[in-house]
Amino acid sequence: MRTTALLCLLLGFSTQSIAQPAAISPRGMGDSSETKGPATLIHAGTVLAVPGNGPQSTMTIVVRGDRVEAVESGHQSAADLGIGSATVLDLSEHFVLPGLMDAHVHLRSQPFDRQVTRGFNRGRTSLTPAQKGVNAIIYARRTLAAGFTTVRDLGSDDQSVFAARDAINRGRVVGPRILVSGASVAVTAGHADTTNVDQNSPTLRMQNAVCDGEAECRRAVRYQAKMGADVIKVTITGGFASNTKLLPQMFADELTAIIDTAHQLDLKVAAHAYHPDAIRDAVAAGVDSIEHGFLVSDDGLRMMKREGAFLVPTISASYPPPFLRQIDPPSVRLRNEYAAFERAYKMGVKVAFGTDAGTFAHGDNAKEFGLMVRYGMTPEDAIRAATVVTADLFGIDDIGTLEPGQLADVIAVTADPLDDITALHSIDFVMKSGQVAKRDGVMLDGMTYPDFVGFSTPER
C-alpha cells in the first residue's frame, strides 16, 4: 500500500540535521514517558489544528519524537499534564498551523540560474545535472524556511532531485520531504521531450521518459519507478516552456498505459494539461491530478468532480514569465487563466495547492495564497488546500493536520492569516517531524551539515 511505503520514508528521517529541543527516541518502545523520550510543549496563541474546522485560542500542542501526542486547551506545563519534564516552546503570541505543502515545484532551478552559471557553462544553454543537484539542495532548504514541510517535485530530466530527496531523508541536509517524479513522461516532440533530434538514442529516450505507443509508455513509467520515482508526471499538452501548441499530444491508449502502469505500481499520476479535450481524456483514463488546467471546460470540471480528480491550479504560473514573452509560444497568448481555478472552486472540484515554483523564485510559494483568496477562496479554504487537501492528493494520511498521531510538522506566523492571508509570506517558526528548523524567523541549522549518517534508515 502506498501509505505504508511513504510511512517508511517519513519514519526514515534522520534526526541529526536540525537543531532540536528534544532528543528523538525510537517510537513504539514502551508506554511510559521515560521510554518515549522527552516531550516538547508548544504554547500556541491560536492554533488551526485542522484547517477547515476553525481556529482555537490558547492551546498546548504536545510533541513527542516525530509526532503530535496531544492537543490540549490552555497553556499546560509538564506538571499539569503529568508527563515529567518537557521543553516549552513559547508561541503564545503566534498563529500556529500545520506545515504547508506545495504539490507542484521544480527544485532543480529558478529564473536567472542560467545567467548565474553561464560563465562556468561556456555557452551551454541549460544547467548541468550537477548544477541542478546543488540547486535542489539550496532551494529545498529555502522552501522549508518558507513553511513548506512537504513538496512534490514534478519533472526533472535527470537524477538531481532524487539525490536531494535522499540527502534530506538521510539527514545530511535540511529540507522538506520531497515526493519526486523524475522525468516527465512525454511523446516524441511533446511538451517534456527535451532530447535533441540528433541525439535520439533509445537510452536517451528512456532516460527522458519519451514514449510513443502503449508498450513504450508502460516502460517509461516503469523506468522512472525503477529510478526511485514517488509519483509519475505526464505532459499531455504544450505549455509556457515549450513551443508545441496547446493541443492534446497523447492518444487514449498511451494515456491509459501510463496511468494504469503507475497505479499498478501504487504511484499517483499528475498530468500537465491546458487543452480541454486533453483534460477530459486524462480524467477518463483515471488521472489523479490535472496540473494547471487553464483551459478546462465546464464538462471537464464536472468529470473531475465526479471522478475525484484534483486540480492543482498553479495560479502563480498562469502568466507567462517575462523571458518567454520574447519567444512568444502560443501559450503566451492565453489570458485569464485563473478562471479555471475560480470555476473549479465554485463547482466543488478538489483544489490542491501547487505553484510551479521554479518558474519563479523558490521560497515565494506562499504568494499563491494571495491569488487564491483574490480569486474567490476563503483564507481558511486556501490553507486547507495546502494542508488537508494536498495530503489527500499525496495519499499520505499522517500529515496535514495537528492531531494526535500525526507527524509534528508545525509552523507559526506572527499575524492572523485568516484575517490577512499574506501573513503566510513571513514564516517565523518551522518544525518538521518534531524537530525545530526555524525559530524567530531564522533557520537554526547553518550551512554546516553533519557527517554522512549511513544507510541504516530505509530509503522509501
Task: Report the interface residues with Zn ion, using CB under 5 A.
Answer: 356
At 301, the amino acid letter reads L
CB closer to Zn ion, 356 vs 368: 356
CB closer to Zn ion, 241 vs 283: 241
Closest contact distance (angstroms) between CB of 155 and Zn ion is 6
How far is residue 273 CA from its own chain's centroid? Answer: 18
Q: If you count them, how many residues does the chain have?
A: 460
At 316, the amino acid letter reads S
Rounded Cα distance between 170 and 211, Å, is 33
Nearest to 39 by CA among 432, 408, 351: 408
Closest contact distance (angstroms) between CB of 381 and Zn ion is 23
Quote the DSSP letter at residue 421.
G
Closest contact distance (angstroms) between CB of 106 and Zn ion is 6
CB closer to Zn ion, 36 vs 104: 104
SS3 (DSSP) at 113 = helix
CB closer to Zn ion, 37 vs 330: 330
Closest contact distance (angstroms) between CB of 108 and Zn ion is 11
Closest contact distance (angstroms) between CB of 291 and Zn ion is 6
At 355, the amino acid letter reads T
Rounded Cα distance between 150 and 108, Å, is 16
Closest contact distance (angstroms) between CB of 358 and Zn ion is 7
Q: Which residues contact 378 (CB under 8 A, 6 or more apart)?
A: none
CB closer to Zn ion, 154 vs 187: 154
The torsion angle over the Cα atoms of residues 161, 163, 165 and 169, rounded to 10 degrees, is 180
Q: Where are the beta strands (DSSP E) in 170-294?
A: 177-180, 231-235, 268-273, 289-292
Rounded Cα distance between 391 and 18, Å, is 23
Instruction: Name 100's bridge partners.
Output: 148
CB closer to Zn ion, 55 vs 238: 238
Rounded Cα distance between 325 and 321, Å, is 7
Greatest CA separation for the chain: 71
CB closer to Zn ion, 40 vs 184: 184
In the block, which residue shows the cell 535533441?
Answer: 196
CB closer to Zn ion, 327 vs 347: 327
Closest contact distance (angstroms) between CB of 154 and Zn ion is 6
Residue nearest to Zn ion (CB): 356
Closest contact distance (angstroms) between CB of 241 and Zn ion is 8
